[in-house]
Amino acid sequence: MNFLENIFAQLEAANNTPVLQELRDGQAVPVTGRELLKRVGQARAFIAARGLKKGDRCALLAHNGTEWVALDLAIMAEGVMVVPLYARQAPSELAAMMKDCSPALIWCGDVALRDGILQVWPDAPPQYLFDEIFSNARASVNGNPQLADSDPVTVIYTSGTSGEAKGVILTAGNVGHMLGCTSGRLDLLMENKAGQDRVFHYLPFCFAGSWIMLLTCLQRRSLLTLNTDLGKLAGEMRTAAPDYFLNVPALLERMRKAVDEQLWKTGGLALAIYSRAKGAWIRERDGRVRLSDTAWLVLANAMIFPTIRKKMIGGNLKALICGSAPLNVDTQLYFNMLGIPVLQVYGLTETTAICTMDDPRHVEPGRVGPAISGIEMKFGENDEIMVRGPNIFPGYWNRPQETAKSLRDGWFHSGDQGEVDAAGSWRIIGRIKNLIILGSGHNIAPEPIEEELLRNLPGAQQAVLVGNGRGYLSVIVTGSVTREQVQAAVEAVNPQLPHYKQVRAFHVHADPFSIENGLLTANGKLKRDLIAARLQSEIEEMYAVKQAS
């Protein structure tokens, strides 16, 4: 049974049980297993009537919603490859991806998205709005999808931090293996719980990890609650009262800061207990326990932390799941202090989103867990992580040379630097291609230093190290910070580092790097080469001033 047959069987078994619900204006709009299958059937009939054949591509451009889910399943069930696209991305970038994969049709969630594409690509293939598929009663196409493990089911475009985005082909076998692994880890988390898993979801389905979570929930017959307005995220998290949900580090950082700010405003006894308990927690982690620390932690666990948990996420949460970018270890420890485990996941689109996942029974802060079942991981040159197994993609769309670079001798070269402990738990250090090579020949991974600087700069948005071919490192800092604050952070961090890793100059850039100004990828990663090019004069000035002094 392929993964789609399994999902359809689970939806049939769910029948009158809600499996999806959208939150709109504070109200839940549920969809049962039977209703979702009906919508999938409608979409399959619509697709079949367009004369598409196996192996054709269909672009899917829309915000999250039950119709997105139905159309995604329908496209794959008809043997067509779905190309999910990020609705917030610039139309010119979206058009470039679609021109690359030559879709037969483009499915758009609304008129604005369709018109945005037509403005930059007047000769685009036929476009259809969701309303045209689902607004009227239509005949349904049912039956089990005939998919072999080797059949490609999707092309997901990578972020493109250093250039043009590449389309990653994933097969039915890749996805089926991954769903077995994710469901197995969730079984450990949800051990002894009766009834449906309750899951909240806000991340765009076009990202591989988010999509795998969606399919996992459908296979498990979970109740997946979809956020449709990021401005209402905090309230909807509480409304959904989830058992777990997938996150990016940026949200967890914002949640942490929001709690601190609220308690500072509240003041009084609550703030006093909270502040002292935080200090006690940190000292306990560092092995510097004071006599009074236990008392403060007992008080906080009885009076403060349960209230924070309930107001933040509701009363059912068993764990937060976090991926897509490195999570600051202090943030992970902070949620642990509140009694909320944070489980980390590491992977790339090319690995069907996941290589490692934390085991809920043993979480090591700062690490991303052991390799998932059935795959091998080892080190290559410069401690590059290499992966082999049934989760590895067969290649990039229409890029044989890029495929050959990444897949060598059966191993996928991830481009990430890592380390692994004796228990098999991995830690990600940084990206190989981000390595800064000083004029002295020293190779430096920028990410750990950037993370430490940001830890000492609460008002900063980003820190970007530069220095390729130079005599020393400099840093660009964005956000609401002063030069004095940056200088203090540099002076706090430098003594911990060897001389060649110390930061000697800095530039404060008020405007944060963003998707809108083209300096972040669609999933929030720094476009380092573009940042260096756009701020070339500022970088040259840093080095000229330092050398002159």
Tens of pLDDT, residue by residue over 508-533, are 998 899 888 888 887 678 888 889 88
- For the segment 187-243, what is each residue's pLDDT rounded down to a tens digit? 999 987 888 999 999 999 999 999 999 999 999 999 999 998 888 888 899 889 999
Assigned fold of 3-243:
Rossmann fold (3.40.50)
Asked if domains 3-243 and 249-315+317-432 share a fold, the reply is yes
Evaluate if residue 462 carries a pLDDT over 70: yes
Is the pLDDT score of 325 beyond 90? no
Residues present in the chain in total: 549
435-548 fold: GMP Synthetase; Chain A, domain 3 (3.30.300)
Helix (H, G, I), strand (E, B), or coil: what is residue 109?
Answer: coil
Residue 43 has pLDDT above 80, yes or no: yes
Indicate the domain borders of the chain: 3-243, 249-315+317-432, 435-548
252, amino acid identity:
L
Question: Exposed, middle or buried by CB within 10 Å (0-12, 13-18, 19+), for 433?
Answer: exposed
What angle separates helix 249-266 from helix 268-286, to the nearest 10 degrees? 130
- Residue 549: is its pLDDT beyond 70? no
**What single-letter DSSP state applies at residue 340?**
-
What are residue 155's DSSP bridge partners? 169
Q: Which pLDDT value is given to residue 337?
A: 92
CA–CA gap between residue 368 and residue 326 (Å, rounded): 9
Separation between Cα atoms, residue 523 and residue 510, nearest integer Å:
22
Residue written as token pair 């309303």: 131
As a whole number, mean pLDDT of residues 50-74 equals 95
Could you report the per-residue pLDDT of 82-131, keeping only the tens digit for each? 999 999 888 988 999 999 999 999 999 999 999 999 999 999 999 999 99
Say whether 309 sits in a helix, a strand or coil.
helix
Confidence of residue 151 (pLDDT cuts 50, 70, 90): very high
User: CATH classification of 249-315+317-432, choosing from 3.40.50.2300, 3.90.79.10, 3.40.50.12780, 2.60.40.10?
Assistant: 3.40.50.12780
Share of the chain above pLDDT 70, in %: 97
C-beta of residue 397 within 8 angstroms of C-beta of residue 97: no
> 65 and 226 in contact (C-beta within 8 Å)?
yes
Q: How far is the C-alpha of 294 from the C-alpha of 292, rounded, in Å?
A: 6
The string of pLDDT tens digits covering residues 407-456 is: 999 999 998 989 999 999 999 988 888 888 887 777 788 888 998 999 89
Given this model, what pLDDT does residue 139 score?
66
Whether the per-residue pLDDT at 352 is higher than 70: the answer is yes
Question: Mean pLDDT throughout 381-396?
Answer: 95
Q: In terms of DSSP H, where are the helices of 145-207?
A: 172-189
